């Protein structure tokens, strides 16, 4: 649904994007995670061509945006909604008039506009609040207005620029739940940028980790969790690094209740000491990571664990 290839962008001497490739599949929630200055906002602005990349191409919903002239580009951008950290609402307009704004720009007739605005406000849980002004709303409600406005043009893709960074944890949760529901019910593809691992953990199907204008690691979360040495896994499950020589780190997906450790102790001549670990609920299900020291006949026990689908990493 979104394909960016070889994106470069510089501001004077500062290289903000240094050869970025991004592939977001239709219907997924894709997170771009990175610290301040990593290049996330620049990447997002290049995806809808608010910023023109110095090199590289961007294709959204089958249309190569980098090949379009400005008139055609404005039209193509209707398929791309965007929400912002500080909501970007017009304070002089009512909630309904904020949501109606893109429809006015598109030339949608008044009766149809009113019908659509009422429908969008219901969709985001703000039915009946159309007459309010933005200052009468909480931060979470303002972001709901931002989401309704972004959906007004019936976009194929929603871009989210740190949409929950200004919100408290409970409100963040409710906005993430709303995005997840819109993704499931409307089939909306969502590309979000964030510096918060919690956002990635709770809603994303795929992720790209950015640093210094480059993507260091990307892919589906389920796939990265099963990739030896994955940085994402290390960041979600922080264990002391480097792992002590000879220690074994086990990553398991699926049923966290399954007694794999007691199984190996029972089946093999080994003893297991637990050095650390945790279990996390990710969007795709529970994942656990456990660091252990094995004494005795370790090799057949490790083979047994691998056969059961665990990722087994032995520190040298």
Ligand X SMILES: Nc1ncnc2c1ncn2[C@@H]1O[C@H](COP(=O)(O)OP(=O)(O)OP(=O)(O)O)[C@@H](O)[C@H]1O
Where do contacts with ligand X occur on this chain (CB under 6 A)? 11, 14, 16, 34, 36-42, 195
For ligand X, the closer CB: 214 or 308: 214
> Whole-number minimum distance, CB 42 to ligand X, in Å?
3
For ligand X, the closer CB: 96 or 167: 167
For ligand X, the closer CB: 93 or 195: 195
Q: State how far the Cα of 117 lies from the Cα of 110, in Å rounded to an integer.
A: 10
Ramachandran angles phi, psi of 294, nearest 5°: -110, 135
For ligand X, the closer CB: 22 or 95: 22
For ligand X, the closer CB: 7 or 121: 7
Tokens of 71: 């008139």
> Whole-number minimum distance, CB 204 to ligand X, in Å?
17
> Whole-number minimum distance, CB 198 to ligand X, in Å?
16
Contact 186, 214 (CB under 8 A): no
Contact 208, 43 (CB under 8 A): no
> Whole-number minimum distance, CB 309 to ligand X, in Å?
35
For ligand X, the closer CB: 14 or 138: 14
For ligand X, the closer CB: 232 or 294: 232
> Whole-number minimum distance, CB 39 to ligand X, in Å?
4
Tokens of 50: 């608010």
Contact 65, 58 (CB under 8 A): yes
Contact 36, 195 (CB under 8 A): yes
> Whole-number minimum distance, CB 160 to ligand X, in Å?
13
Contact 126, 118 (CB under 8 A): no
> Whole-number minimum distance, CB 282 to ligand X, in Å?
23
Contact 4, 47 (CB under 8 A): yes
> Whole-number minimum distance, CB 85 to ligand X, in Å?
9
For ligand X, the closer CB: 1 or 38: 38
> Whole-number minimum distance, CB 73 to ligand X, in Å?
19
For ligand X, the closer CB: 41 or 183: 41
């Amino acid at each position: 649904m979104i394909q960016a290839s070889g994106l470069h962008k510089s501001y004077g001497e500062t290289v903000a994007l240094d050869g970025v490739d991004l592939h977001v599949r239709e219907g997924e929630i894709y997170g771009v995670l990175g610290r301040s200055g990593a290049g996330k906002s620049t990447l997002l602005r290049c995806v809808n061509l608010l910023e023109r990349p110095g090199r590289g191409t961007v294709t959204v919903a089958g249309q190569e945006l980098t090949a379009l002239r400005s008139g055609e580009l404005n039209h193509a951008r209707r398929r791309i909604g965007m929400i912002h950290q500080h909501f970007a609402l017009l304070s002089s307009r009512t909630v309904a008039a904020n949501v109606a704004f893109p429809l006015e720009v598109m030339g949608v007739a008044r009766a149809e506009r009113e019908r659509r605005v009422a429908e969008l406000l219901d969709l985001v849980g703000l039915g009946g609040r159309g007459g309010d002004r933005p200052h009468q709303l909480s931060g979470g409600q303002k972001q709901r207005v931002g989401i309704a406005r972004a959906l007004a043009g019936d976009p194929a893709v929603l871009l989210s620029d740190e949409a929950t960074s200004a919100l408290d944890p409970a409100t963040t949760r409710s906005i993430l739940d709303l995005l997840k529901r819109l993704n499931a019910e409307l089939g909306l593809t969502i590309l979000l940028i964030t510096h918060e691992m919690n956002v990635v953990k709770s809603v994303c199907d795929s992720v790209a980790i950015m640093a210094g204008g480059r993507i260091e690691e990307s892919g589906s979360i389920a796939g990265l969790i099963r990739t030896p040495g994955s940085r994402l896994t290390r960041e979600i499950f922080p264990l002391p690094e480097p792992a002590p020589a000879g220690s074994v780190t086990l990553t398991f997906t699926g049923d966290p209740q399954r007694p794999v450790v007691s199984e190996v102790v029972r089946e093999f001549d080994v003893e297991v000491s637990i050095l650390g670990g945790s279990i996390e609920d990710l969007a795709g299900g529970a994942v656990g990571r456990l660091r252990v020291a094995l004494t005795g006949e370790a090799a057949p026990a490790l083979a047994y664990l691998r056969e059961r689908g665990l990722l087994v990493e032995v520190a040298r």
